[in-house]
């Protein structure tokens, strides 16, 4: 039976070295490779160099780098964040605005964005820009405008303000959506009552206008009929009436029913045709 010392003496020294090399190799390989997922981009942080490499952004897939460097991976597809902000209207009333903003980093400038604004660039750059734009735009409007008719205009103005603030900051904002505007209950009730009254007033004016148009139409129709009757009366002379009477008499005379014709008995000298009775 071999002792422990005999086992140690018989174990090849070269095997220990190979195992050590293999472990180091696996460690270095794991540190030298990175896989970037769909919709993501990466930039290298050179630990022994000048920090963030701002010249190149790595796309999706498998990449190899020096083991002492680090790959910083961030989403580069379009993303959105939602927030609720307390802002003041033009008359100093506090309003709560719920909104969503869509944004995406400039892929080719991801290194510059992280180098200048840090990895948490949403909090450092995007949040202040949104809040500043919302306060600036909402402060131009009354609560009633915010609550009702100006929503789409406000969204576009906030988008324009944010894009102006973020110009040349390597972060693109593509859309702003104002989802809800919360007013104090008393103000909201007053606005809703006013809007309801305005709607009822418009409906009442519409009914009056419709009735007036119908009355005008009936008047025009009656006047037209009166003019037509006047023209017809003026055109019916005695001669025309006598001619029409003769035509009617001839038609009746053709009837197979038995009848008696009294010549010259009418007031106008027209014959009178009597039936069986």
Give the CATH number for residue 108: 3.30.479.30
The answer to the question of residue 233 being in a domain is no
pLDDT of residue 132: 87
Q: Are residues 92 and 37 in the same domain?
A: no
Q: Are residues 134 and 120 in the same domain?
A: yes
**3-state secondary structure (DSSP) of residue 113:** helix
pLDDT of residue 206: 75
Q: With beta carbons less than 8 A apart as the criterion, state whether 86 and 152 touch.
A: no
| Residue numbers of the domain that contains 67 | 29-76
Q: Give the residue from 76, 106, 141 where a domain finishes.
A: 76
Q: Are residues 90 and 107 in the same domain?
A: yes
DSSP string, 218-254: HHHHHHHHHHHHHHHHHH--HHHHHHHHHHHHHHHHT
Q: Are residues 149 and 83 in the same domain?
A: yes
Q: Are residues 92 and 69 in the same domain?
A: no
Q: Give the residue from 76, 93, 109 where a domain finishes.
A: 76
Q: Are residues 83 and 71 in the same domain?
A: no
The answer to the question of residue 229 being in a domain is no
Region of poorest pLDDT, from 4-13, 28-37, 92-101, 233-242? 4-13
Reported pTM: 0.57
The answer to the question of residue 255 being in a domain is yes
Region of poorest pLDDT, from 16-25, 183-192, 213-222, 262-271? 262-271
Selection from 66, 98, 100 nearest residue 84 by Cα? 98
The answer to the question of residue 192 being in a domain is no
Q: Are residues 52 and 94 in the same domain?
A: no
The answer to the question of residue 104 being in a domain is yes
Q: Quick one: what percent of the chain has pLDDT higher than 90?
A: 16
pLDDT of residue 159: 92
Q: Are residues 100 and 146 in the same domain?
A: yes
The answer to the question of residue 108 being in a domain is yes
pLDDT of residue 41: 92
């Amino acid at each position: 039976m071999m002792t422990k010392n005999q086992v140690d003496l018989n174990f090849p020294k070269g095997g220990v070295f190979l195992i050590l090399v293999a472990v180091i190799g696996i460690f270095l390989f794991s540190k030298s490779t990175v896989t970037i997922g769909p919709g993501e981009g990466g930039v290298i942080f050179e630990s022994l160099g000048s920090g963030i490499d701002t010249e190149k952004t790595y796309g999706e897939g498998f990449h190899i780098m020096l083991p002492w460097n680090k790959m910083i991976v961030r989403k580069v597809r379009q993303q959105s964040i939602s927030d609720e902000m307390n802002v003041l209207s033009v008359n100093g009333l506090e309003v709560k605005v719920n909104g969503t903003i869509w944004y995406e980093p400039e892929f080719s400038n991801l290194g510059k964005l992280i180098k200048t604004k840090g990895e948490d660039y949403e909090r450092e750059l995007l949040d202040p820009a949104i809040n500043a734009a919302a306060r600036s735009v909402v402060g131009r409007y009354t609560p009633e405008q915010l609550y009702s008719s100006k929503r789409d205009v406000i969204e576009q103005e906030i988008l324009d303000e944010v894009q102006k603030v973020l110009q040349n900051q390597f972060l693109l904002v593509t859309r702003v959506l104002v989802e809800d505007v919360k007013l104090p209950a008393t103000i909201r009730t007053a606005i809703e009552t006013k809007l309801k009254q305005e709607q009822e007033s418009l409906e009442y004016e519409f009914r009056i206008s419709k009735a007036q148009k119908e009355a005008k139409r009936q008047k025009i129709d009656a006047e037209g009929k009166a003019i037509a009757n006047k023209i017809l009366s003026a055109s019916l002379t005695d001669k025309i009436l006598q001619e029409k009477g003769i035509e009617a008499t001839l038609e009746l005379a053709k009837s197979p029913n038995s009848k008696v014709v009294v010549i010259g008995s009418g007031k106008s000298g027209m014959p009178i045709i009597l039936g069986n009775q």
